[in-house]
Structure 1
Amino acid sequence: MLFQIKSYLKFLWHSKNEHAVHSPFVFSLLTKCFYDKKPKPEYEVLKEYRNSLLQNKNTIEVTDFGAGSRVFKSNARQIAQIAKTAGISAKRAQLLYRIINYFQPETILEIGTSLGLATSALSLGNPQASITTLEGCPNTMAIAKNQFKQFGLNSINSVVTKFNNYLGDFQLSAFDFRLIYFDGNHSKKATLEYFELLLPTITNETVWIFDDIHWSAEMEGAWEIIINHPKVTVSIDTFQWGLVFFRYEQPKQHFIIRT
Protein backbone atom coordinates (compact mmCIF):
# COMPACT_ATOMS: atom_id res chain seq x y z
CA MET A 1 0.00 0.00 0.00
CA LEU A 2 2.83 2.41 0.87
CA PHE A 3 4.44 1.74 -2.51
CA GLN A 4 1.20 2.59 -4.32
CA ILE A 5 0.77 5.81 -2.33
CA LYS A 6 4.29 6.93 -3.22
CA SER A 7 3.71 5.99 -6.86
CA TYR A 8 0.46 7.94 -6.95
CA LEU A 9 2.04 11.06 -5.49
CA LYS A 10 4.78 10.81 -8.13
CA PHE A 11 2.11 10.35 -10.79
CA LEU A 12 0.24 13.46 -9.64
CA TRP A 13 3.42 15.50 -9.75
CA HIS A 14 4.17 14.55 -13.36
CA SER A 15 0.66 14.17 -14.78
CA LYS A 16 -0.97 16.59 -17.22
CA ASN A 17 -4.35 17.15 -18.84
CA GLU A 18 -5.29 17.83 -22.45
CA HIS A 19 -3.93 21.41 -22.35
CA ALA A 20 -0.36 20.12 -22.16
CA VAL A 21 -0.76 17.60 -25.02
CA HIS A 22 0.47 18.58 -28.49
CA SER A 23 -0.22 15.28 -30.25
CA PRO A 24 -3.44 15.59 -32.31
CA PHE A 25 -4.08 11.85 -31.89
CA VAL A 26 -3.81 11.95 -28.09
CA PHE A 27 -5.56 15.34 -27.78
CA SER A 28 -8.56 13.96 -29.66
CA LEU A 29 -8.59 10.81 -27.50
CA LEU A 30 -8.58 12.89 -24.32
CA THR A 31 -11.17 15.48 -25.30
CA LYS A 32 -13.59 13.21 -27.15
CA CYS A 33 -13.22 10.09 -25.02
CA PHE A 34 -11.40 10.35 -21.69
CA TYR A 35 -13.03 13.64 -20.66
CA ASP A 36 -16.45 13.04 -22.19
CA LYS A 37 -18.83 13.73 -19.29
CA LYS A 38 -22.10 13.26 -21.16
CA PRO A 39 -24.40 10.58 -19.69
CA LYS A 40 -24.76 7.35 -21.67
CA PRO A 41 -27.66 4.89 -21.50
CA GLU A 42 -25.08 2.08 -21.39
CA TYR A 43 -23.90 3.35 -18.01
CA GLU A 44 -27.21 2.23 -16.55
CA VAL A 45 -26.67 -1.27 -17.95
CA LEU A 46 -23.18 -1.34 -16.43
CA LYS A 47 -24.69 -0.25 -13.10
CA GLU A 48 -27.35 -2.96 -13.24
CA TYR A 49 -24.74 -5.58 -14.14
CA ARG A 50 -22.63 -4.55 -11.14
CA ASN A 51 -25.56 -4.37 -8.73
CA SER A 52 -26.77 -7.84 -9.69
CA LEU A 53 -23.37 -9.18 -8.61
CA LEU A 54 -23.17 -7.06 -5.46
CA GLN A 55 -26.50 -8.51 -4.37
CA ASN A 56 -25.36 -12.11 -4.94
CA LYS A 57 -24.42 -13.55 -1.54
CA ASN A 58 -23.62 -17.03 -2.84
CA THR A 59 -20.14 -18.42 -2.23
CA ILE A 60 -17.94 -20.07 -4.86
CA GLU A 61 -14.51 -21.69 -4.87
CA VAL A 62 -12.10 -19.36 -6.65
CA THR A 63 -8.92 -20.69 -8.21
CA ASP A 64 -6.23 -18.39 -9.55
CA PHE A 65 -3.23 -19.39 -11.65
CA GLY A 66 0.24 -17.94 -11.99
CA ALA A 67 2.10 -17.35 -15.25
CA GLY A 68 2.49 -21.09 -15.62
CA SER A 69 0.18 -23.96 -14.75
CA ARG A 70 0.88 -23.84 -11.02
CA VAL A 71 -2.12 -23.04 -8.82
CA PHE A 72 -1.10 -20.40 -6.31
CA LYS A 73 -4.42 -19.60 -4.63
CA SER A 74 -7.71 -21.40 -4.13
CA ASN A 75 -10.35 -20.33 -1.63
CA ALA A 76 -14.07 -19.85 -1.06
CA ARG A 77 -15.31 -16.32 -1.68
CA GLN A 78 -18.67 -14.60 -1.78
CA ILE A 79 -19.62 -13.40 -5.27
CA ALA A 80 -20.60 -9.97 -3.95
CA GLN A 81 -17.19 -9.59 -2.30
CA ILE A 82 -15.36 -10.54 -5.52
CA ALA A 83 -17.35 -7.93 -7.43
CA LYS A 84 -16.61 -5.32 -4.77
CA THR A 85 -12.88 -5.90 -4.37
CA ALA A 86 -11.57 -7.65 -7.47
CA GLY A 87 -13.67 -6.21 -10.26
CA ILE A 88 -13.17 -3.04 -12.27
CA SER A 89 -14.57 0.09 -10.57
CA ALA A 90 -17.73 1.77 -11.88
CA LYS A 91 -15.74 4.80 -13.04
CA ARG A 92 -13.20 2.64 -14.87
CA ALA A 93 -15.93 0.56 -16.48
CA GLN A 94 -17.42 3.75 -17.91
CA LEU A 95 -14.02 4.85 -19.20
CA LEU A 96 -13.43 1.42 -20.76
CA TYR A 97 -16.83 1.68 -22.44
CA ARG A 98 -15.88 5.09 -23.86
CA ILE A 99 -12.52 3.81 -25.14
CA ILE A 100 -14.20 0.94 -26.98
CA ASN A 101 -16.93 3.24 -28.29
CA TYR A 102 -14.28 5.70 -29.50
CA PHE A 103 -12.02 3.24 -31.32
CA GLN A 104 -14.74 0.75 -32.34
CA PRO A 105 -12.40 -2.28 -32.45
CA GLU A 106 -13.89 -5.18 -34.38
CA THR A 107 -11.94 -7.85 -32.47
CA ILE A 108 -11.12 -7.74 -28.77
CA LEU A 109 -9.13 -10.03 -26.47
CA GLU A 110 -9.50 -9.81 -22.70
CA ILE A 111 -7.01 -11.61 -20.50
CA GLY A 112 -8.78 -12.10 -17.18
CA THR A 113 -12.60 -12.25 -17.17
CA SER A 114 -13.29 -12.64 -13.44
CA LEU A 115 -17.04 -11.88 -13.12
CA GLY A 116 -17.20 -10.03 -16.43
CA LEU A 117 -17.52 -6.45 -15.16
CA ALA A 118 -14.93 -5.20 -17.63
CA THR A 119 -16.18 -7.60 -20.31
CA SER A 120 -19.61 -6.01 -20.16
CA ALA A 121 -18.05 -2.59 -20.83
CA LEU A 122 -16.11 -4.02 -23.77
CA SER A 123 -19.27 -5.51 -25.25
CA LEU A 124 -21.48 -2.47 -24.71
CA GLY A 125 -18.84 -0.18 -26.23
CA ASN A 126 -19.15 -2.02 -29.54
CA PRO A 127 -21.93 -4.63 -29.60
CA GLN A 128 -20.75 -5.75 -33.06
CA ALA A 129 -17.25 -6.61 -31.86
CA SER A 130 -16.10 -10.21 -31.61
CA ILE A 131 -14.80 -10.60 -28.04
CA THR A 132 -12.65 -13.44 -26.70
CA THR A 133 -12.25 -13.40 -22.93
CA LEU A 134 -9.94 -15.74 -21.00
CA GLU A 135 -10.35 -16.88 -17.40
CA GLY A 136 -8.46 -19.47 -15.37
CA CYS A 137 -11.19 -20.15 -12.81
CA PRO A 138 -14.17 -22.15 -14.14
CA ASN A 139 -16.43 -21.06 -11.27
CA THR A 140 -16.05 -17.32 -11.80
CA MET A 141 -16.39 -17.85 -15.55
CA ALA A 142 -19.65 -19.70 -14.99
CA ILE A 143 -21.01 -16.68 -13.11
CA ALA A 144 -19.78 -14.33 -15.85
CA LYS A 145 -21.37 -16.42 -18.62
CA ASN A 146 -24.68 -16.38 -16.78
CA GLN A 147 -24.41 -12.59 -16.50
CA PHE A 148 -23.65 -12.23 -20.21
CA LYS A 149 -26.75 -14.25 -21.04
CA GLN A 150 -28.91 -12.33 -18.60
CA PHE A 151 -27.85 -8.96 -20.09
CA GLY A 152 -27.99 -10.05 -23.72
CA LEU A 153 -24.24 -9.76 -24.35
CA ASN A 154 -24.10 -12.31 -27.13
CA SER A 155 -20.84 -11.59 -28.97
CA ILE A 156 -18.56 -12.94 -26.23
CA ASN A 157 -16.52 -16.13 -26.61
CA SER A 158 -15.71 -17.23 -23.05
CA VAL A 159 -12.68 -19.51 -22.69
CA VAL A 160 -11.60 -21.22 -19.46
CA THR A 161 -7.86 -21.67 -19.79
CA LYS A 162 -4.46 -20.98 -18.32
CA PHE A 163 -3.43 -17.79 -20.08
CA ASN A 164 0.08 -18.68 -21.14
CA ASN A 165 -1.09 -22.06 -22.48
CA TYR A 166 -3.75 -20.40 -24.63
CA LEU A 167 -1.45 -17.66 -25.91
CA GLY A 168 1.45 -20.03 -26.45
CA ASP A 169 -0.52 -22.70 -28.32
CA PHE A 170 -2.79 -20.48 -30.40
CA GLN A 171 -1.89 -19.37 -33.93
CA LEU A 172 -2.00 -15.74 -32.88
CA SER A 173 -0.35 -14.41 -36.03
CA ALA A 174 -3.52 -15.34 -37.91
CA PHE A 175 -5.61 -13.01 -35.73
CA ASP A 176 -5.97 -9.25 -35.71
CA PHE A 177 -6.95 -8.33 -32.16
CA ARG A 178 -7.64 -4.63 -32.55
CA LEU A 179 -7.82 -4.14 -28.79
CA ILE A 180 -6.40 -6.24 -25.96
CA TYR A 181 -7.21 -5.69 -22.29
CA PHE A 182 -4.55 -7.21 -20.01
CA ASP A 183 -6.01 -7.92 -16.56
CA GLY A 184 -5.08 -11.49 -15.83
CA ASN A 185 -1.81 -11.69 -13.93
CA HIS A 186 -0.21 -8.72 -12.23
CA SER A 187 3.38 -9.93 -12.24
CA LYS A 188 6.29 -8.64 -14.29
CA LYS A 189 7.16 -12.05 -15.72
CA ALA A 190 3.64 -12.88 -16.87
CA THR A 191 2.92 -9.39 -18.22
CA LEU A 192 6.07 -9.38 -20.35
CA GLU A 193 5.39 -12.96 -21.53
CA TYR A 194 1.92 -11.94 -22.73
CA PHE A 195 3.34 -8.81 -24.34
CA GLU A 196 5.90 -10.76 -26.36
CA LEU A 197 3.50 -13.56 -27.29
CA LEU A 198 0.93 -11.09 -28.63
CA LEU A 199 3.26 -8.81 -30.58
CA PRO A 200 2.64 -10.79 -33.83
CA THR A 201 -1.00 -9.63 -33.71
CA ILE A 202 -0.34 -5.87 -33.79
CA THR A 203 -1.46 -3.56 -36.57
CA ASN A 204 -1.31 0.19 -37.00
CA GLU A 205 -4.73 0.44 -35.31
CA THR A 206 -4.01 -1.84 -32.35
CA VAL A 207 -4.76 -0.59 -28.83
CA TRP A 208 -3.46 -2.39 -25.73
CA ILE A 209 -4.58 -1.59 -22.19
CA PHE A 210 -2.57 -2.88 -19.22
CA ASP A 211 -4.24 -2.86 -15.79
CA ASP A 212 -2.50 -2.00 -12.49
CA ILE A 213 0.76 -0.75 -13.98
CA HIS A 214 1.69 0.82 -10.61
CA TRP A 215 0.50 -2.10 -8.49
CA SER A 216 4.06 -3.00 -7.49
CA ALA A 217 7.68 -2.25 -8.31
CA GLU A 218 7.58 -5.35 -10.54
CA MET A 219 4.63 -4.04 -12.54
CA GLU A 220 6.24 -0.63 -12.87
CA GLY A 221 9.33 -2.37 -14.18
CA ALA A 222 7.26 -4.27 -16.73
CA TRP A 223 5.54 -1.04 -17.81
CA GLU A 224 8.91 0.67 -18.36
CA ILE A 225 10.11 -2.19 -20.55
CA ILE A 226 6.87 -2.11 -22.55
CA ILE A 227 6.85 1.63 -23.26
CA ASN A 228 10.51 1.52 -24.30
CA HIS A 229 9.94 -1.33 -26.76
CA PRO A 230 10.81 -0.16 -30.30
CA LYS A 231 7.41 -1.20 -31.68
CA VAL A 232 5.52 0.95 -29.17
CA THR A 233 5.13 4.50 -30.44
CA VAL A 234 2.57 6.21 -28.19
CA SER A 235 2.01 5.29 -24.54
CA ILE A 236 -0.33 6.82 -21.95
CA ASP A 237 -0.03 6.35 -18.19
CA THR A 238 -3.34 7.00 -16.37
CA PHE A 239 -1.91 5.52 -13.14
CA GLN A 240 -4.18 2.46 -12.95
CA TRP A 241 -4.04 1.77 -16.68
CA GLY A 242 -1.31 1.98 -19.25
CA LEU A 243 -2.35 2.33 -22.90
CA VAL A 244 0.04 1.59 -25.76
CA PHE A 245 -0.28 2.17 -29.49
CA PHE A 246 1.74 0.96 -32.46
CA ARG A 247 1.00 3.75 -34.95
CA TYR A 248 3.80 3.73 -37.52
CA GLU A 249 3.34 7.38 -38.45
CA GLN A 250 3.61 8.65 -34.86
CA PRO A 251 6.84 9.83 -33.23
CA LYS A 252 7.61 7.97 -30.03
CA GLN A 253 5.94 9.83 -27.17
CA HIS A 254 4.92 9.04 -23.60
CA PHE A 255 2.13 10.85 -21.74
CA ILE A 256 1.16 10.85 -18.07
CA ILE A 257 -2.49 11.84 -17.99
CA ARG A 258 -4.99 12.55 -15.23
CA THR A 259 -8.45 11.07 -15.86
Structure 2
Amino acid sequence: MIHILIEYFKFISKSSNQHGVHSPFIYNLITKCFYKKIDANLWSRFKEIKQQLLDNKSFIKVTDFGAGSKIFKTNKRQVSKIAKVAGITNKKSKLLIRLIKYFKPIYVLEIGTSLGLGTTAIKIGNKNAIITSLEGCVETSKIAQELLKNNNLKNITINTGDFKKTLTKSIEKQSFDCIYFDGNHTKKDTLNYFNTCLPTIKNDSFWIFDDIYWNNEMKEAWTEIKNHPKVKVTVDVFYWGIVFFRKEQEKEHFKIRV
Protein backbone atom coordinates (compact mmCIF):
# COMPACT_ATOMS: atom_id res chain seq x y z
CA MET A 1 0.00 0.00 0.00
CA ILE A 2 2.82 2.44 0.86
CA HIS A 3 4.50 1.64 -2.46
CA ILE A 4 1.31 2.52 -4.35
CA LEU A 5 0.85 5.78 -2.43
CA ILE A 6 4.41 6.88 -3.14
CA GLU A 7 3.99 6.07 -6.83
CA TYR A 8 0.68 7.93 -6.92
CA PHE A 9 2.18 11.12 -5.50
CA LYS A 10 4.97 10.89 -8.09
CA PHE A 11 2.37 10.42 -10.80
CA ILE A 12 0.34 13.43 -9.64
CA SER A 13 3.41 15.66 -9.71
CA LYS A 14 4.14 14.74 -13.35
CA SER A 15 0.64 14.33 -14.78
CA SER A 16 -1.61 16.87 -16.48
CA ASN A 17 -5.05 17.32 -18.01
CA GLN A 18 -6.02 18.40 -21.52
CA HIS A 19 -4.23 21.74 -21.22
CA GLY A 20 -0.90 21.70 -22.99
CA VAL A 21 -1.74 18.55 -24.99
CA HIS A 22 -1.02 19.36 -28.65
CA SER A 23 -2.05 16.03 -30.15
CA PRO A 24 -5.65 16.35 -31.47
CA PHE A 25 -6.10 12.59 -31.04
CA ILE A 26 -5.20 12.67 -27.34
CA TYR A 27 -6.97 16.00 -26.73
CA ASN A 28 -10.21 14.52 -28.07
CA LEU A 29 -9.68 11.34 -26.05
CA ILE A 30 -9.33 13.38 -22.86
CA THR A 31 -12.18 15.83 -23.44
CA LYS A 32 -14.68 13.55 -25.19
CA CYS A 33 -14.01 10.32 -23.29
CA PHE A 34 -11.95 10.65 -20.10
CA TYR A 35 -13.72 13.76 -18.82
CA LYS A 36 -17.16 13.06 -20.23
CA LYS A 37 -19.82 11.97 -17.76
CA ILE A 38 -20.83 8.34 -18.09
CA ASP A 39 -24.24 7.52 -19.54
CA ALA A 40 -26.52 7.05 -16.51
CA ASN A 41 -28.40 4.13 -18.05
CA LEU A 42 -25.21 2.24 -18.83
CA TRP A 43 -23.85 2.80 -15.33
CA SER A 44 -27.14 1.74 -13.73
CA ARG A 45 -27.03 -1.49 -15.75
CA PHE A 46 -23.48 -2.22 -14.66
CA LYS A 47 -24.26 -1.59 -10.97
CA GLU A 48 -27.28 -3.86 -11.19
CA ILE A 49 -25.13 -6.73 -12.51
CA LYS A 50 -22.33 -6.07 -10.02
CA GLN A 51 -24.84 -6.20 -7.16
CA GLN A 52 -25.64 -9.79 -8.12
CA LEU A 53 -22.04 -10.71 -7.29
CA LEU A 54 -22.07 -8.64 -4.10
CA ASP A 55 -25.13 -10.63 -3.01
CA ASN A 56 -23.43 -13.96 -3.75
CA LYS A 57 -22.22 -15.29 -0.38
CA SER A 58 -20.96 -18.64 -1.67
CA PHE A 59 -17.30 -19.65 -1.37
CA ILE A 60 -15.07 -20.88 -4.17
CA LYS A 61 -11.54 -22.24 -4.26
CA VAL A 62 -9.48 -19.90 -6.42
CA THR A 63 -6.52 -21.14 -8.46
CA ASP A 64 -4.13 -18.21 -8.83
CA PHE A 65 -1.65 -18.40 -11.73
CA GLY A 66 -0.46 -14.81 -11.33
CA ALA A 67 1.52 -12.75 -8.84
CA GLY A 68 -0.86 -13.65 -6.03
CA SER A 69 -3.27 -11.57 -3.99
CA LYS A 70 -2.31 -8.69 -1.71
CA ILE A 71 -5.68 -9.02 0.01
CA PHE A 72 -6.61 -12.68 0.43
CA LYS A 73 -4.52 -15.00 2.60
CA THR A 74 -6.11 -18.28 1.43
CA ASN A 75 -7.47 -19.61 -1.85
CA LYS A 76 -10.93 -20.20 -0.34
CA ARG A 77 -12.71 -16.93 -1.04
CA GLN A 78 -16.26 -15.59 -0.86
CA VAL A 79 -17.63 -14.41 -4.20
CA SER A 80 -19.10 -11.23 -2.69
CA LYS A 81 -15.75 -10.29 -1.15
CA ILE A 82 -13.85 -10.91 -4.40
CA ALA A 83 -16.30 -8.59 -6.15
CA LYS A 84 -15.99 -5.98 -3.41
CA VAL A 85 -12.25 -5.80 -2.83
CA ALA A 86 -10.49 -7.59 -5.70
CA GLY A 87 -12.71 -7.08 -8.73
CA ILE A 88 -12.52 -4.13 -11.10
CA THR A 89 -13.23 -0.92 -9.16
CA ASN A 90 -16.12 1.39 -9.96
CA LYS A 91 -13.67 4.05 -11.14
CA LYS A 92 -12.03 1.67 -13.60
CA SER A 93 -15.41 0.30 -14.66
CA LYS A 94 -16.70 3.77 -15.52
CA LEU A 95 -13.63 4.58 -17.59
CA LEU A 96 -13.70 1.19 -19.31
CA ILE A 97 -17.33 1.69 -20.32
CA ARG A 98 -16.54 5.19 -21.60
CA LEU A 99 -13.46 3.99 -23.53
CA ILE A 100 -15.35 1.17 -25.18
CA LYS A 101 -18.27 3.44 -26.03
CA TYR A 102 -15.85 6.03 -27.47
CA PHE A 103 -13.79 3.70 -29.69
CA LYS A 104 -16.52 1.08 -30.34
CA PRO A 105 -14.19 -1.93 -30.76
CA ILE A 106 -15.86 -5.00 -32.23
CA TYR A 107 -13.29 -7.73 -31.62
CA VAL A 108 -12.08 -7.61 -28.01
CA LEU A 109 -9.71 -9.88 -26.12
CA GLU A 110 -9.68 -9.83 -22.32
CA ILE A 111 -6.82 -11.57 -20.53
CA GLY A 112 -8.17 -12.22 -17.04
CA THR A 113 -11.94 -12.67 -16.77
CA SER A 114 -12.10 -13.00 -12.97
CA LEU A 115 -15.81 -12.81 -12.00
CA GLY A 116 -16.77 -11.20 -15.30
CA LEU A 117 -17.17 -7.58 -14.23
CA GLY A 118 -14.60 -6.24 -16.70
CA THR A 119 -16.25 -8.35 -19.39
CA THR A 120 -19.60 -6.87 -18.41
CA ALA A 121 -18.25 -3.31 -18.63
CA ILE A 122 -16.89 -3.97 -22.12
CA LYS A 123 -20.20 -5.42 -23.29
CA ILE A 124 -22.19 -2.56 -21.78
CA GLY A 125 -19.87 -0.07 -23.48
CA ASN A 126 -20.52 -1.67 -26.87
CA LYS A 127 -23.36 -4.17 -27.16
CA ASN A 128 -21.99 -5.22 -30.57
CA ALA A 129 -18.61 -6.28 -29.17
CA ILE A 130 -17.52 -9.87 -29.78
CA ILE A 131 -15.46 -10.76 -26.72
CA THR A 132 -12.97 -13.53 -26.13
CA SER A 133 -11.98 -13.68 -22.47
CA LEU A 134 -9.35 -15.85 -20.81
CA GLU A 135 -9.56 -17.10 -17.23
CA GLY A 136 -7.13 -19.43 -15.49
CA CYS A 137 -9.33 -20.53 -12.59
CA VAL A 138 -12.12 -23.03 -13.29
CA GLU A 139 -14.26 -21.96 -10.30
CA THR A 140 -13.98 -18.26 -11.08
CA SER A 141 -14.78 -18.94 -14.71
CA LYS A 142 -17.98 -20.75 -13.71
CA ILE A 143 -19.16 -17.73 -11.72
CA ALA A 144 -18.39 -15.40 -14.64
CA GLN A 145 -20.17 -17.59 -17.19
CA GLU A 146 -23.23 -17.83 -14.97
CA LEU A 147 -23.27 -14.05 -14.49
CA LEU A 148 -23.07 -13.34 -18.21
CA LYS A 149 -25.70 -15.96 -19.08
CA ASN A 150 -28.14 -14.74 -16.41
CA ASN A 151 -27.89 -11.20 -17.76
CA ASN A 152 -28.26 -12.18 -21.41
CA LEU A 153 -24.83 -10.84 -22.37
CA LYS A 154 -24.08 -12.61 -25.64
CA ASN A 155 -21.21 -13.09 -28.11
CA ILE A 156 -18.79 -13.71 -25.25
CA THR A 157 -16.51 -16.74 -25.15
CA ILE A 158 -14.57 -17.59 -22.00
CA ASN A 159 -11.59 -19.88 -22.56
CA THR A 160 -10.57 -21.47 -19.26
CA GLY A 161 -7.10 -22.73 -18.40
CA ASP A 162 -3.47 -21.70 -18.14
CA PHE A 163 -2.87 -18.65 -20.36
CA LYS A 164 0.28 -20.28 -21.71
CA LYS A 165 -2.05 -22.66 -23.53
CA THR A 166 -5.24 -20.66 -24.09
CA LEU A 167 -3.72 -17.37 -25.29
CA THR A 168 -1.95 -18.73 -28.38
CA LYS A 169 -5.02 -20.72 -29.40
CA SER A 170 -7.38 -17.76 -28.82
CA ILE A 171 -5.46 -15.34 -31.04
CA GLU A 172 -4.72 -17.76 -33.88
CA LYS A 173 -5.59 -16.08 -37.20
CA GLN A 174 -7.30 -13.27 -35.29
CA SER A 175 -6.95 -9.52 -35.06
CA PHE A 176 -8.36 -7.45 -32.22
CA ASP A 177 -9.56 -3.88 -31.94
CA CYS A 178 -8.94 -3.87 -28.20
CA ILE A 179 -7.09 -6.04 -25.71
CA TYR A 180 -7.54 -5.64 -21.96
CA PHE A 181 -4.60 -7.14 -20.04
CA ASP A 182 -5.62 -7.98 -16.48
CA GLY A 183 -4.32 -11.46 -15.93
CA ASN A 184 -0.89 -11.51 -14.37
CA HIS A 185 1.09 -8.83 -12.57
CA THR A 186 4.59 -10.08 -13.29
CA LYS A 187 7.06 -8.54 -15.71
CA LYS A 188 7.89 -11.80 -17.46
CA ASP A 189 4.30 -12.80 -18.18
CA THR A 190 3.11 -9.28 -19.02
CA LEU A 191 5.84 -8.89 -21.63
CA ASN A 192 5.17 -12.40 -22.90
CA TYR A 193 1.48 -11.58 -23.42
CA PHE A 194 2.44 -8.29 -25.06
CA ASN A 195 4.81 -9.92 -27.56
CA THR A 196 2.48 -12.86 -28.21
CA CYS A 197 -0.41 -10.52 -29.06
CA LEU A 198 1.54 -8.15 -31.34
CA PRO A 199 0.59 -10.04 -34.53
CA THR A 200 -3.09 -9.28 -33.79
CA ILE A 201 -2.84 -5.48 -33.96
CA LYS A 202 -4.54 -3.21 -36.45
CA ASN A 203 -3.56 0.41 -36.94
CA ASP A 204 -6.42 1.58 -34.71
CA SER A 205 -6.07 -1.12 -32.06
CA PHE A 206 -5.72 -0.02 -28.47
CA TRP A 207 -4.51 -2.04 -25.52
CA ILE A 208 -5.15 -1.50 -21.83
CA PHE A 209 -2.67 -2.72 -19.21
CA ASP A 210 -4.01 -2.94 -15.67
CA ASP A 211 -2.05 -1.96 -12.54
CA ILE A 212 1.12 -0.69 -14.18
CA TYR A 213 2.37 0.53 -10.77
CA TRP A 214 1.43 -2.68 -8.92
CA ASN A 215 5.10 -3.42 -8.18
CA ASN A 216 8.57 -2.65 -9.57
CA GLU A 217 8.25 -5.52 -12.07
CA MET A 218 5.12 -4.00 -13.59
CA LYS A 219 6.78 -0.57 -13.78
CA GLU A 220 9.69 -2.15 -15.66
CA ALA A 221 7.32 -4.00 -17.97
CA TRP A 222 5.43 -0.77 -18.71
CA THR A 223 8.69 1.02 -19.56
CA GLU A 224 9.66 -1.72 -22.01
CA ILE A 225 6.21 -1.64 -23.60
CA LYS A 226 6.39 2.14 -24.06
CA ASN A 227 9.78 1.83 -25.74
CA HIS A 228 8.74 -0.88 -28.18
CA PRO A 229 9.08 0.38 -31.79
CA LYS A 230 5.51 -0.61 -32.73
CA VAL A 231 4.06 1.43 -29.87
CA LYS A 232 3.42 5.01 -30.99
CA VAL A 233 1.37 6.66 -28.20
CA THR A 234 0.82 5.72 -24.57
CA VAL A 235 -1.47 7.26 -21.98
CA ASP A 236 -0.69 6.60 -18.32
CA VAL A 237 -3.73 7.22 -16.08
CA PHE A 238 -1.92 5.62 -13.12
CA TYR A 239 -4.07 2.54 -12.62
CA TRP A 240 -3.92 1.78 -16.35
CA GLY A 241 -1.49 2.17 -19.19
CA ILE A 242 -3.21 2.59 -22.56
CA VAL A 243 -1.28 1.82 -25.76
CA PHE A 244 -1.95 2.95 -29.34
CA PHE A 245 -0.20 1.72 -32.50
CA ARG A 246 -1.32 4.45 -34.94
CA LYS A 247 1.44 4.75 -37.53
CA GLU A 248 0.45 8.32 -38.40
CA GLN A 249 1.19 9.51 -34.84
CA GLU A 250 4.50 10.81 -33.53
CA LYS A 251 5.82 8.73 -30.66
CA GLU A 252 4.59 10.40 -27.48
CA HIS A 253 3.86 9.44 -23.87
CA PHE A 254 1.26 11.15 -21.72
CA LYS A 255 0.44 11.07 -18.02
CA ILE A 256 -3.17 12.16 -17.59
CA ARG A 257 -5.16 12.66 -14.39
CA VAL A 258 -8.57 11.03 -14.72
Q: TM-score range by the shorter chain?
A: over 0.9
Instruction: Give the whole-Å Cα distance in 2 for the aligned partners of 1:115 and 1:38.
Output: 23
Work out whether 1:120 is the aligned partner of 2:120: yes
Does the 8 Å contact 1:107/1:177 carry over to 2?
Answer: yes
| Equivalence for 2:70 | none
Alignment of 1:166-185 (within 5 A): 166-168=166-168, 170=169, 172=171, 174-185=173-184
Alignment of 1:34-183 (within 5 A): 34-66=34-66, 75-168=75-168, 170=169, 172=171, 174-183=173-182
Instruction: Give the whole-Å Cα distance in 1 for the aligned partners of 2:170 and 2:210.
Output: 25
Q: Tell me the amino acid that sits aligned with residue 138 of structure 1.
A: V
Does the 8 Å contact 1:64/1:74 carry over to 2?
Answer: no
| Equivalence for 2:8 | 8
CA drift of 1:245 comes to: 0.4
Instruction: Give the whole-Å Cα distance in 2 for the aligned partners of 1:199 and 1:4.
Output: 29
Does the 8 Å contact 2:159/2:166 carry over to 1?
Answer: no
Percent identity (aligned): 51
| Equivalence for 1:216 | 215
Instruction: Give the whole-Å Cα distance in 1 for the aligned partners of 2:207 and 2:57.
Output: 34
Instruction: Give the whole-Å Cα distance in 2 for the aligned partners of 1:160 and 1:224.
Output: 30
1:104-130 Cα shifts (integer Å, max 9, x gaps): 111000000000111001111111111
Instruction: Give the whole-Å Cα distance in 2 for the aligned partners of 1:130 and 1:207.
Output: 15
CA drift of 1:38 comes to: 4.7
TM-score, structure 2 length as denominator? 0.95
| Equivalence for 1:254 | 253
Instruction: Give the whole-Å Cα distance in 2 for the aligned partners of 1:85 and 1:135.
Output: 18
CA drift of 1:39 comes to: 3.5
CA 1:125–1:38: 2 relative to 1, 3 Å: closer
Instruction: Give the whole-Å Cα distance in 2 for the aligned partners of 1:80 and 1:130.
Output: 27
How many pairs align?
253
| Equivalence for 1:202 | 201
CA drift of 1:74 comes to: 6.8
Instruction: Give the whole-Å Cα distance in 2 for the aligned partners of 1:173 and 1:253.
Output: 30
Q: Tell me the amino acid that sits aligned with residue 99 of structure 1.
A: L
Does the 8 Å contact 1:17/1:258 carry over to 2?
Answer: yes
Does the 8 Å contact 1:61/1:77 carry over to 2?
Answer: yes
CA 1:126–1:39: 2 relative to 1, 3 Å: closer
CA drift of 1:11 comes to: 0.1
| Equivalence for 1:228 | 227
Q: Matched residue of 1:115: which SS?
A: coil
Give ranges in structure 1 of 5+ residues lacking alignment.
68-72
| Equivalence for 1:192 | 191
Q: Matched residue of 2:75: which SS?
A: strand
CA drift of 1:52 comes to: 1.1
CA 1:235–1:194: 2 relative to 1, 3 Å: same
Give the superposed CA RMSD. Answer: 1.4
Bigger mean CA deviation after superposition, 81-90 or 233-242: 81-90
Q: Tell me the amino acid that sits aligned with residue 111 of structure 2.
A: I
Does the 8 Å contact 2:66/2:183 carry over to 1?
Answer: no
Bigger mean CA deviation after superposition, 45-54 or 170-179: 170-179
Instruction: Give the whole-Å Cα distance in 2 for the aligned partners of 1:173 and 1:21.
Output: 37
Instruction: Give the whole-Å Cα distance in 2 for the aligned partners of 1:118 and 1:5.
Output: 24
CA drift of 1:166 comes to: 1.8
CA 1:209–1:228: 2 relative to 1, 3 Å: same
Does the 8 Å contact 2:208/2:241 carry over to 1?
Answer: yes
| Equivalence for 1:238 | 237
Q: Tell me the amino acid that sits aligned with residue 31 of structure 1.
A: T
Q: Tell me the amino acid that sits aligned with residue 222 of structure 1.
A: A
Instruction: Give the whole-Å Cα distance in 2 for the aligned partners of 1:165 and 1:193.
Output: 13
Give ranges in structure 2 of 5+ residues lacking alignment.
68-72
Q: Matched residue of 2:159: which SS?
A: strand
Q: Tell me the amino acid that sits aligned with residue 232 of structure 2.
A: T
Q: Tell me the amino acid that sits aligned with residue 198 of structure 1.
A: C
CA 1:55–1:172: 2 relative to 1, 3 Å: closer
